């Protein structure tokens, strides 16, 4: 019950790392609101987590890219929770695309969700967490934001933006004891599997050598429940109270041993 009495919002809870994070928080005793644009799957994930307990879970629909949707969802969540102590923010989309032919519409769409969505949810969370006397915002960056990724040009640029935003927000909000970190994961999730399926054989082979083979721990992507969940609990808990502005790879060594 490391998170007993913590009030937490998890974006992108309908699947992947959002689902694993919500499950980990409820198992650690927190009172959690899951949010996602996909209501049906989001409801089902939170319902199952609530039944298992010992913490609580409920669902509110959100489009993180839409300012009104974010302010309505966070207002409703803070009323239900009686305040806010932490936000975990994995919601995002991935698009493959070569630097020479990515369209302005695709560029705008992925930036609107991955970058504007991060800024809007962070701002809404900051105001609430500051009122609680401090807490934690956990964004999601990527190794894609650290290195050139010719196959995912726009996605990679969004993750670089999330890294700098997280550091800037950490610098600005530290005086209010609101810490902001970014997890850089390598986990087997639907996003990762869908991206792989859309690749040509040549791109998939290149991706294998660039991504799998550079994971020192077993040369394979992690499991969101067992490899990420406990880290997310740590970053939402007071045990991480002196860590902010960091880019934290949870990737079996992919970022630093490649």
Active site residues: 155
Residue span binding ligand NAD (CB under 6 A) among the ranges 57-65, 76-84, 96-104, 130-138: 57-65
Q: Select 12 or 55, whichever has its Cβ closest to ligand NAD.
A: 12
* Cα 183–chain centre separation: 7
Residue span binding ligand NAD (CB under 6 A) among the ranges 47-55, 130-138, 183-191, 233-241: 183-191
Phi, psi of 96 (to 5 degrees): -75, 155
Residue span binding ligand NAD (CB under 6 A) among the ranges 2-10, 86-94, 130-138, 199-207: 86-94
One of 64, 88, 124, 233 touching ligand NAD (CB under 6 A): 64
Q: Select 14 or 81, whichever has its Cβ closest to ligand NAD.
A: 14
DSSP string computed for 101-164: T--HHHHHHHHIIIIIHHHHHHHHHHHHHHHTT-EEEEEE--GGGTS--TTBHHHHHHHHHHHH
Which residues within the stretch 143-182 sit at the binding site for ligand NAD (CB under 6 A)? none
Taking the CA atoms of residue 192, residue 34, residue 3 and residue 67 in that order, the dihedral angle to the nearest 10 degrees is: 100
Collapsed DSSP state (helix, strand, coil) of residue 184: strand
Q: First-to-last CA distance in the chain?
A: 36
Q: Give contact residues for ligand NAD (rule: CB under 6 A).
A: 11-12, 14-18, 36-38, 62-65, 90-93, 113, 117, 140, 142, 185-187, 189-192, 221
């Amino acid at each position: 019950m490391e998170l007993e009495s913590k009030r937490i919002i998890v974006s992108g809870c309908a699947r992947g790392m959002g689902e694993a994070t919500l499950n980990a928080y409820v198992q650690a005793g927190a009172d959690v609101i899951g949010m996602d644009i996909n209501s049906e799957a989001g409801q089902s994930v939170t319902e199952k987590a609530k039944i298992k307990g010992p913490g609580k879970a409920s669902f509110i629909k959100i489009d993180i890219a839409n300012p009104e949707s974010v302010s309505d969802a966070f207002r409703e969540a803070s009323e239900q929770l009686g305040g806010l102590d932490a936000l975990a923010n994995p919601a995002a989309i991935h698009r493959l695309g070569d630097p020479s032919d990515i369209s302005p519409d695709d560029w705008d769409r992925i930036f609107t969700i991955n970058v504007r969505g991060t800024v809007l949810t962070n701002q809404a969370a900051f105001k609430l967490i500051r009122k609680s006397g401090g807490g934690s915002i956990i964004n999601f960056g990527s190794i894609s934001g650290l290195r050139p990724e010719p196959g995912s040009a726009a996605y990679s640029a969004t993750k670089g933006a999330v890294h700098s935003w997280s550091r800037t927000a950490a610098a600005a909000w530290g005086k209010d004891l609101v810490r902001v970190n970014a997890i850089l994961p390598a986990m087997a999730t639907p996003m990762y599997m869908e991206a792989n399926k859309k690749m040509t054989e040549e791109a998939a082979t290149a991706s294998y050598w660039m991504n799998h083979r550079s994971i020192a721990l077993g040369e394979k992507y992690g499991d969101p429940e067992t490899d990420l969940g406990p880290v997310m609990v740590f970053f939402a808990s007071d045990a991480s109270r002196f860590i902010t502005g960091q880019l934290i790879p949870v990737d079996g060594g992919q970022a630093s041993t490649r």
